[in-house]
């Protein structure tokens, strides 16, 4: 994909918890997970950077407003009184690496974390939802965890697809229904197609051609931002609009 190396991409998760001391987190980690001062080790010895961060007054509101689904009351109660944000940082850029980060995040949730905030998409999930998605582990669950959908008056686009190794998608609001099912279907297509999708590609289903990729553009984020997608954005146009314009 344009010479971009997957190992140059990072996924950073923030997991708030109300642990009274580090030993409490250590005691509650699932079997097979180990914690060193700055590293979380998974059962297969994969290492993830472990970065504890102090609390701040703004994060609880940011977390709640960023949740894709309403978190549980007990999860919000922990966020409201959280004592530390456990930062986890590891390689991204593929479904496999994103799945590994989900497993790392789930371990901290099982040890008392309230939920997970994803830096690359500004998307949050309650802990119970995160564990369910991790247990699923399929492309739909992984993309739901990492890719947010932003609606504007002039465009609808995804944010965070770089975490799983794909460009973000850009569509016209007139092509996306109120519930956002259309763009969700396109995300699923991209993530499960098993082959690269680029300019000229036609996205079709049993009903025939639906959208065509007409351009690859850059996003609006600075290259140093965790939200920047180095794969860019794919602009999708309805096959109906293309036909009417010819």
How much is the mean pLDDT over the chain?
A: 91
Residues 16, 44, single domain; the answer is yes
Res. 26: pLDDT tops 50:
yes
Residues 189, 240, single domain; the answer is yes
Residues 114, 175, single domain; the answer is no
Residue 232: predicted pLDDT: 95
Report the alpha-carbon distance of residue 124 to residue 46 in Å, rounded: 24
- Please report which confidence band the pLDDT of residue 220 belongs to, taking 50, 70 and 90 as the band edges: confident
Residues 134, 205, single domain; the answer is no
- Please report which confidence band the pLDDT of residue 66 belongs to, taking 50, 70 and 90 as the band edges: very high
Res. 157: pLDDT tops 80:
yes
Domain count along the chain = 2
Residue 242: predicted pLDDT: 61
Res. 209: pLDDT tops 90:
no
**Residue 182 contacts by C-beta under 8 Å, 6 or more apart in sequence?**
171, 175, 176
- Please report which confidence band the pLDDT of residue 2 belongs to, taking 50, 70 and 90 as the band edges: very low
Do the strands 10-17 and 115-118 form a parallel or antiparallel pair, or are they unpaired? antiparallel
Res. 29: pLDDT tops 80:
yes
DSSP 38: T
Res. 51: pLDDT tops 80:
yes
Residue 31 belongs to domain spanning: 6-142
Query: For the whole model, what pTM was predicted?
Result: 0.92
> Could you tell me the strand order of the sheet in which 10-17 lies?
34-36, 39-41, 47-53, 84-91, 10-17, 115-118, 123-126
Domain boundary among 114, 142, 170: 142
- Tell me whether residue 64 is in a domain: yes
Res. 105: pLDDT tops 50:
yes
Residue 205: predicted pLDDT: 74
Q: Rounded mean pLDDT of 161-186? A: 90
């Amino acid at each position: 994909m344009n010479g971009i190396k997957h190992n140059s991409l990072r996924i950073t998760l923030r997991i708030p918890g109300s642990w009274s001391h580090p030993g409490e987190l250590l005691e509650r980690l699932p079997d097979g997970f180990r914690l060193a001062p700055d590293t979380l080790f998974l059962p297969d010895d994969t290492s993830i950077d472990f970065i504890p961060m102090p609390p701040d007054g703004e994060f609880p509101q940011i977390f709640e407003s960023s949740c894709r689904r309403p978190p549980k009351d007990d999860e919000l109660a922990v966020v409201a009184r959280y004592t530390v944000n456990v930062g986890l940082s590891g390689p991204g850029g593929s479904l496999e690496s994103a799945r590994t980060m989900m497993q790392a995040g789930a371990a901290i949730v099982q040890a008392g974390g309230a939920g997970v905030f994803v830096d690359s998409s500004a998307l949050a999930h309650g802990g119970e939802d995160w564990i369910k998605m991790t247990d699923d582990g399929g492309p739909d669950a992984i993309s739901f965890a990492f890719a947010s959908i932003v609606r504007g008056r002039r465009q609808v686009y995804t944010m965070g697809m770089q975490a799983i190794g794909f460009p973000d998608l850009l569509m016209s609001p007139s092509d996306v229904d109120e519930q956002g099912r259309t763009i969700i279907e396109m995300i699923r297509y991209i993530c499960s197609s098993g082959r690269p999708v680029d300019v000229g590609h036609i996205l079709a289903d049993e009903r025939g051609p639906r959208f065509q990729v007409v351009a690859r553009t850059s996003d609006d984020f600075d290259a140093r931002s965790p939200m920047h997608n180095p794969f860019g954005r794919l602009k999708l146009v309805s096959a109906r609009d293309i036909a009417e314009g010819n």
